[in-house]
Structure formats: C-alpha cells, structure tokens
Structure 1
Amino acid sequence: MSTDDPDGTAAEQPERAAVEFYTRPGCPFSALLRKQLTRKRVPLREIDIWDDRDAAATVRAVAGGNETVPTVFVGGHAMVNPGSREVLEAVRAYAPDIFPEQPRQERRSRWWPPWR
C-alpha cells in the first residue's frame, strides 16, 4: 500500500492545474474559444452555469451582474468573454505551471533562394 498516508487514508493524486471555463450549452462564443484553446492544448475545466447555481453566481459577480459566457478564471484572475490570446497571456502571467515552457523549434522557410 504505497499510496496510503501514515494515517491509513489513500493519498490523493495532485490534480493538474486547469483554466476554469464557465460556459452554457449552445453558446457560440464559448464554442469558438473552447476550440481555440483546445487547439493550443490548454487544459480546461468546463463548468456549466445552467447546471451549477454557485457557478452562475460566480459569473454574475465578475460580469457586472450578467451571466456572460465564456467567463474564464486563470489563477484567480477573471476574464469575461476573452479572446484566446488574452487567455494565453493570463496563463503565462498567473499560472505558468499549467503550461510548462517548451523549447522553441527553429522555423524553416518553405523555400530559400538557390544561391544560399
């Protein structure tokens, strides 16, 4: 039982940090942002504000009383209807552990002059 703590309870595996993504079914803005962030491999924890009253209250608290989605939280920083660039910048600034820095790959052009 190597996963047990000394008190006999099972040790919890640390959950990978994720961007909190508040949404509702059928929202085209949420669908677009989800697609863009998924393409960039940003881990999302989606929360449906129609299923979770506390989530809806959280969104209203940061969105001026409205249930505007997508509302995104990154490391405690709230963004209402952000663009993907804004979310990625927030991840780098407020939660860099979500996205470990990866080495940049050298970009090669598709063609080059024959005299080089």
Structure 2
Amino acid sequence: MVRRWSLALLTALCGVLIAAVKFGDGAPGSAALLLAVFLAFAFMLSPLAFPRTSGGAGDDRPVVYWRPGCPYCLRLRARLGPEAARLRWVDIWQDPEAAATVREITGGDETVPTVVIGGRGHVNPDPSWLRDQIAPAAPQA
C-alpha cells in the first residue's frame, strides 16, 4: 500500500516544503502557485488518477495492467480521456496475479501498461490505436 502512494506523497511533501520556503521569503503568490503545481502532479502520480478497478472474472472489457507512478501509464490514461472508463484497470502492485500475467506476456518483466484485448497482450500500445480498438461500433443504417 505504501509503495503505491510513495511517489505521490514525496511529490506533495516537496511541494509543501518549497511553498513554505517561498512563503517565508515573502512571496505568497509564488508559494501558492508552486504548491498547486506540485499537488496536481502528486495527484497524477497517485492511484486516484486512474479509474477504480471493477468487475473481474467474466468481465469482457479489455484489461489495462498498470502501476502508480508509471509515466507511460499516465500518458495512456491522459490520452484516452473519458474512454479510459471503458477499460478495466488493474494495478499490478495491488494484485499479484495481475503482475504474474504481465510477466507472462512480457517474457518475465513487469512492463506496463500492458493491455489485453481479445486474449492478446499488447505492451505499451499507442493510445490512438487503443482508442480505435475500444471505440463502439458505428450503428448500421
């Protein structure tokens, strides 16, 4: 649990310390701005930036295996935007079986994001490709 939050907490703590120094130097505006930037970055590094894992066995949605603090996972999540909710996000640091699945797909590494669609694993796929894969089928006229 601590490992999942360590990078986000460290970032927030650095922001608080830097803001305190700026505030002490008589620059409350700069302090507030820096604190806001660091807290926003800490949020992006935290597990809160990703959709909650829901569903499980029998859930036919594509699965994205990820871990907190992974810049490639953040990139994928940000580029998918609201479409990310159409996927099942599984944190490999929270689920040992998921970590084993990723190691099996990647040949022994825990490289994330790893996406499984239709039983096939894709390591660090291009976000636009993934968006095309999960796009709803156009209604037939």
With the length of structure 1 as denominator, give the TM-score of the two structures. 0.60
* TM-superposed deviation, 1:73: 1.0
Candidates 102, 118, 122, aligned match of 1:75: 118
Deviation at 1:87, TM superposition (A): 1.6
**5, 30, 33: which is aligned to 2:76?**
33
Deviation by residue 1:83-110 (Cα, 9 ceiling, x = unmatched): 1123234446xxxxxx23269xxxxxxx
- TM-score w.r.t. structure 2 length? 0.51
SS in 1 for 2:116: strand
2:67 corresponds in structure 1 to: 24
Q: Considering fraction of residues, name the structure with more strand.
A: 1
Give the equivalent residue in structure 1 for 2:137.
100
The root-mean-square deviation of aligned C-alpha atoms, in Å, is 2.4
Is the contact made by 1:74 and 1:91 (CA closer than 8 Å) also made in structure 2?
A: no
Of the three residues 86, 91, 94, the one matched with 1:43 is: 86
1:22–1:71 contact (8 Å) kept in structure 2 = yes
Aligned to 1:65: 108
Q: Match of 1:34, SS? A: helix
Q: Which moved more, 1:19-28 or 1:83-92?
A: 83-92
2:86/2:134 contact within 8 Å kept? no
The number of equivalent residue pairs is 83
Q: Which amino acid aligns with 1:68?
A: T
* 1:16 CA drift (Å): 7.4
Report % sequence identity: 41
CA contact (8 A) 2:79 2:127 kept: yes
Gaps of 5+ in 1: 1-14, 93-98, 104-116
Structure number with greater Rg is: 1
Q: 1:72 to 1:89 in 2, by over 3 A?
A: same
